[in-house]
Structure 1
């Protein structure tokens, strides 16, 4: 049997949480890349809300949720191909079996065999979590369709308001195209949230405040947020200052998962390209042989 510390409600809440897409301008991604992160990775450690969240259903009844978690992904992210998905599932099962405890086993002795059988199946928990993470919903499902989209533009852009307008237009065009393509959306008029990204190490605060005021007038104060980050300066490392030496790294887990998936996907693509190159070289040799014979 599987072994998990989560209750049924906690498992369902984590496995099928609301999904939100992130659509960034090039300048916003450039600022995040200075910290070796994407914007989606930047906010991953803060996707579980510590306070209660209330919303009203169609009958205007207030429903309160605790420990709500949001799954935020990049607008351009795609589910892994079948070959890579199988490899990810096999790897997670192998790692779970390798790291398993031998004290969880019991022996069964027969006249011909001596078997070691585990009392629980921790590999199934790993397989299930990996499957739910990489699986994508079918055309008839809405479990992993995006409920909202976060538009992100930095204050370093020459015209941030115009950049936000173009991002909204891009999302609307993608959602209205026929036939529908990824990403998929839960409804026609999805909720849009606008984040103005400001790097305090290089930007002017007066410009950020001015642009943010225009942004609130354009889309409403409740739909906008000014996010200020403190990026590393070029050439700066953690050892340069004593304050950052012992600071925790809340992004380690999320960046590790993302880099592992990207690395394995790159290996799959390189193997495919290598096999294609070998096939082309073999075909070229056959053509040369035919030409020489004639």
Structure 2
């Protein structure tokens, strides 16, 4: 993958293992600069990056903005609440309008599956699109930053690792991107565990060991990744109570003790403390959750640089 051949980043399924590896290597090399060290060059000077976020976001939007600015780009944060989409303007027309103003890269988050790919199919030849999360389908840069975090603690050879994903996998675009990345990196064992109502379709489970309990998933694991319980699922009756969910599926110190002594704990955020994860684990010595956030800036720098 040369910079010239990566036009959009819509899904990690679009990348080969070597392309994924190169993005991770570049992100690692950018990490010090991502956290504030001055850049000797500005590879995105003269470029305009637009953050088109149609869903709330703290980590993803902020890190894309920081990444673009640290690469020298001009950044426009699109305010959906005060935009013409409230007047009925289509997403396509919003894209065309911003392209006409000279925007180059569009970072798009939307609640509907496939929207970013649709925009990529109609954009101008010079435009570049990054999927910052669509529906429950894809969140490729989150998948990249999660893999970078694992590599920093466990090395580049994933073939000996046992990685457990626990929680609301059915509705999680993060889980889908992480599972794609873990397969690309030839992970030794990928475990998934969730209440039956929150398990994904069989195609998402491919290549994974389905565990019937959180304890089974955590036991002997190198990496324990818990996912946000989307509380609207309570209204759908998919979870009986938050207390019962925490008892059966939450990552507590006692449950974490079943993992390897040097296991790391991950969460894509935002966290529901006392639901998916106990305070003592989230803030404990095995947690790398804040490192995931830091790595988000470096990964998004690597992606924007490769696109632009």
TM-score, structure 1 length as denominator?
0.24
User: Considering only CA atoms, is the larger Rg found in Structure 1 or Structure 2?
Assistant: 1
